[in-house]
Structure 1
Amino acid sequence: MSIKSGRQFRSYIISWFLMIVGLIVAIGSTNIFQRAEAYLFENFNNNKISQLNSIAQLIDPRLHQQLDQVSKAKLPIFERLTNSFKAQALTQNQGITFSLNLNPDNETLTYGASYQRSPQEGLLVVSDLFKVLIVPKNEKLELVKLRLPGQPRITRPPQVELRFRNRPELVVNGQIILRILDIKNLTATYKEIKLNRWSKKAQVATINLPSAEEVTYRFVPKDGLLQPPGSLFYAEKGLKREILKRIVVGETAQISLDSQNLKADRYLVSPLFSEDKPLGAVVMHVFQETYHGISRELLQSVWLIFSLMSAAILLAAMFFARKITSPLEQLNLAITRLIKNDFNFKLPPKGFGSFKFLAEQFNQMLAHIQKSRGELIQLNKSYHRFVPHGLLKQLGVASVDEISLGDCCEREMTVLFCDIRGFTTLSESMTPQANFNFINRYLSQIAPVINKHGGIIDKYMGDGIMALFPNRADDAVKAAIEMLASLDKYNEKLRQKKLPIVEIGMGIHYGKMMLGTVGTTQRMDATVVSDTVNAAARVEALTKAFATKILITEETKRHLSDLTQYRLRYIAACQIRGKSKPVTLYEVFDNDTVSIQEEKAANQPTMIRAWKKYREGDIATAVALYRRQIEKSPNDKSLFALIERCQSGRL
């Protein structure tokens, strides 16, 4: 068996063992919990029955029946009876104890004593279906639904609501039961019956409604009993029948309407007898929440025990598994460092124990990765210089591996063409190596300027450059002006070395163009296809014909943000190849000396007049105007070029 298969086998054995142990523990703990729960509930109920019997022994049944007729003069008797309940009363979260009087004639049960008190004064409304307390709060009414001992459990409780119209009204199932006349004094009325909390008359009124059961109203002061002695005991028929049965038989027992549910509400009954005559009972209502509380406490204890056992097993498992998992953890951390491109480390074989061969193999792999990674980084740096990343960005791709053959988009951009004047003559006097050195030194002067102004160098065409400016036309014009300024500084160094200087011409045109990839799947290139590019190339060629350094078209001029930033003058409108209409050209002469700039600006009106004469067919007058300006400005070489083109008819 190999190391790998042996480990897998051990893993399967351990997994199945843990599953079986977990199943046995789950079944056993559930059975133990159920048995302990049943025992605790039975013991709890027996203790409450014993407690209830003790309370019943303190009660004089004859006096107990007189509680509903006790007057203020007999108040000490009432206190004597009720104090016996207070001494033995259960806490609120365990239940509530009360006593009942029996009327044998009609088998009705009425309260003999109750310890449910009102939190604040209000109007208590009671029926077989609902029981609510209306209390004034901040000059408004609040409806408090009560859950009191003996109140029947209704599957579909009635819709009890408090409406505010002209007078606040208590509405049950859409029927007005009671109308509140005075919120502040809590005065209420229904038909001819009036209730007032300040009245000395009877504070309890009963109304029989045609379509409803009997409803009782009374005012309850703060801390007053919500169920005073003598009030009717409401309960489900089954519960009332069981209580009556226990009273008559004289048995102390517990009653649960849901005998299958250990956590259901229970009523513990201890009958009251006098001379073998059943007179009532003491009842303890143990709420369902009490049993839930006992169950929760038991469950918490069980969970605590099993948690401690699990913690002990876990600590033991961790202790024994540490020797196996430690090498894997170190290996995992090493892989994480690799993912984060951290390669400057090695794994110590001593920390792997018997698995040190893993550390040695990992270190060998790491050394190979480091070598391959260095070669790949260097190769990517080399490729980076050949990829037009600016164009890729315009195509909406982040890297070269995302681009596909045929990807394209349409953009409006400014195109700049730049070329060296007389480069052929210069190159003939230099060796091939000197030619490349010369071109690269020249490009190192002007290429950074293009990048500085947001330009994208699309192609290096020997001594020429094609650059795209995707943002503004101003970027291209400012770049051209700065390129000439940088070249002037470079030429100054060439003069000092008594070397030939470099002169260039630049043509700029603005328009729509298509950016995309052309070629094959094995060899492709990102480029621009448009007559805008062709027009820019033709404009650059005209810089030599018109003896200018920078020429821009009318379209470029219209897209400049502020013409006052530049020194521009109109040259001519020429027919160029590839364009059906003449292209209007302007010279940018910001790089000329101040004196020449002033002469060119002064010559502009005469040049415009001469051009108009030429367009009218009066070539002689046009040539005469140009010659007149040459006499004034012999340094304006463009005038000579314009005369020659007028005479040859090439404008």
Structure 2
Amino acid sequence: MGARLVLADDNEAFLEATARLLERQGYEVFAATSGDEALRHLSQHRPEAILLDIMMPGIDGLAVLEKIRQQDPLLGVVMITAFGSEEIAVKALTAGADDYLIKPLDYEEAFIRLERVLDRTRLRRERLRLEQELAEAHSQLQQRYQELEASYGRIRELEEQTRELFERYLPPQVAQYLIDDPSRANLGGERREVTILFADLRGFTALAEKMSPERLVEVINGYLSLAAECVVAQGGVLDKFMGDSVMALYNSPLEQPDHALRALKTAFDVRDNVRLSSLQPALRFGFGINTGEAVVGNVGSEALMNYTAIGDPVNLAFRIQEQAKAEQILLSRATYDQVKDHVEAKPLGRMRMERRAEEAEVYEAVTLRAET
């Protein structure tokens, strides 16, 4: 039997169909048509995760999420919405959700993202267990000074395990940043100029419809691993993976005076390395890069938070990426102004972006100039 889940949605047809598909995947599913019923299932069955519709009669999904985080900050939570509203999604993520899905569901992608949430949930519980063991070891040291030497090796082992767990859950720069000063793990952030890179695989969604989930995971992991290596090589922070796309930040948490150029070089590195790779089926990324002031820091709740950037520059970078064709690297005017001495680029004029009132001036990066 697979993971135990609660599925909450007031649409009985959607609830029945989705529960049946989840059960075919090996999950044990407890269905609920209201927020109150979902909370009862959580109390009675102690699942690993909940898929929770945002809009339900009575107590809605966001209110249920708040109650969940008060009772179990480690439970995996995936919100479901039929609205496709970024504002609602951001509100849910800020309140402590792990991910969100938009109806109608792409079930293959939904199952992949659900498994990632379950993996993160297990890691969080393992991290808590290790932290508890570490606290107990420290307490024993204070009480039994004579066992100091014998206990010291165990403590070092646990600290290393915690560090390794941190670095699997967080980008290495952010993990080290927090390890160096744990007070930086408090909720909140700082306003600073950053460069944001979005890279998205073109044609992946259509291809995914023809693939088994196992093959789908294999393909996407190959491309995202390659992109992640390029981000890290240029000193970027992997903010998040979103389906078949990646978001990276530059100039945070560490200062990088050439952050815009680093992001640009990352895009060229990814494009070139994909061309040279033997990954199959052959896919290509489209890129969007923007520079601007955003609030960067820990977003979420005291129990569960993410290190990320919030603000309009992030949204604009994403919208610019949506305009890019396969292998096309598009820059905002703000980014272009910082890298124009290092790149051959052609202006594409002002473009209208989805869900943005103002048009944006966009440039296409053609090739990097040779460094002198």
Coarse TM-score class (shorter-chain normalised): 0.5 to 0.7
Q: Distance in 1 between matches of 2:262 and 2:152?
A: 45
Partner Cα separation in structure 2 for residue 521 and residue 383 of structure 1: 16
User: Which residue is 2:335 aligned to?
Assistant: 556
CA distance in 1, matches of 2:243, 2:294: 23
Amino acid at match of 1:573: R
Q: Report the Cα offset of residue 403 of structure 1.
A: 2.5
Separation (CA, whole Å) in 1 of partners of 2:171 and 2:183: 14
Identity of aligned residues (%): 29
Task: Give yes or no for contact 1:405–1:519 (8 Å, CA) kept in 2.
Answer: no
Which residue in the other structure is 1:463 paired with? 244
Question: What TM-score does the superposition give when structure 1 sets the normalisation length?
Answer: 0.31
Q: Which residue of 2 aligns with 1:588?
A: 365
**Inter-partner Cα distance in structure 2 for 1:475 and 1:424:** 29
How far apart are residue 404 of structure 1 and its match?
4.2
Q: Is 2:213 aligned against 1:432?
A: yes
Is the Cα–Cα contact under 8 Å of residues 224 and 245 in structure 2 kept in the other structure? no
Offset of residue 412 of structure 1:
0.9
Q: 2:182 — aligned with what?
A: 401
One-letter amino acid of the structure 1 residue matched with residue 337 of structure 2: R
Partner of residue 381, structure 1: 164
Instruction: Write the distance in 2 (CA, Å) between the matches of 1:366 and 1:429.
Output: 59
Aligned residue for 1:122? none
How far did 1:508 drift?
0.7
Shift of 1:376: 4.1
The answer to whether the 8 Å contact 1:553/1:586 transfers is: yes
1:610 aligned residue: none
RMSD: 2.8
Equivalent residue for 1:484, pick from 271, 290, 294: 271
> Offset of 1:501 from its aligned partner?
0.2
| Aligned-partner residue type, residue 349 of structure 2 | A
Give 2:164's aligned amino acid. K
Per-residue Cα deviation, 1:263-285 (whole angstroms, up to 9, x for no partner): xxxxxxxxxxxxxxxxxxxxxxx
Instruction: Identify if the C-alpha distance between structure 1 residues 389 and 402 changes in structure 2 by more than 3 Å, giving closer, same or farther.
Output: farther
**Superposed displacement of residue 541, structure 1:** 0.5
Given that 1:416 and 1:506 are in contact with CA atoms closer than 8 Å, whether structure 2 keeps it comes out as yes
Are the counterparts in 1 of residues 197 and 249 from structure 2 also a CA contact under 8 Å?
A: yes
Alpha-carbon distance in 2 for matches of 1:376, 1:431? 39
Q: Write out aligned runs for 1:187-226 (5 A).
A: none
Tell me if structure 2 keeps the 8 A contact 1:554–1:586. yes
In structure 2, the CA distance between the partners of 1:508 and 1:522, relative to structure 1 (3 Å rule), is same
Q: What is the CA-CA distance between 1:431 and the residue it aligns to? A: 3.0
Higher CA-based Rg: 1
Would you say the 8 A contact 1:405–1:518 is kept in 2?
A: no
Structure 1: distance between partners of 2:295 and 2:180: 20
Structure 2 regions of 5+ residues with no counterpart?
1-143
Cα gap change, 1:428 to 1:477, in 2 (>3 Å): same
Task: Report what 2:233 is aligned to.
Answer: 452
Amino acid at match of 1:478: K
1:430-579 matched pairs, under 5 angstroms: 430-470=211-251, 471=256, 472=258, 473-490=260-277, 493-494=278-279, 499-544=280-325, 549-560=328-339, 562=341, 565-579=342-356
Change (3 A) 1:368 1:469: closer
Distance in 1 of aligned mates of 2:167 and 2:195: 25
Aligned letter for 2:271? L
Rounded Cα–Cα distance in structure 2 between residues aligned with 1:382 and 1:406: 20
Is the alpha carbon distance of 1:554 and 1:436 closer, same or farther for their aligned partners in structure 2, counting shifts above 3 Å? Answer: same
Structure 2 CA distance, aligned partners of 1:372 and 1:516? 29
Letter in 2 for 1:569: K
The number of aligned residues is 219
Amino acid at match of 2:358: K
Question: Alignment partner of 1:573: what SS?
Answer: strand
Give ranges in structure 1 of 5+ residues lacking alignment.
1-357, 592-651
Residue identity matched to 2:268: I
* Partner SS, residue 484 of structure 1: helix
Seen in structure 2, the aligned counterparts of structure 1 residues 368 and 548 have a Cα distance that, compared at 3 Å, is: closer
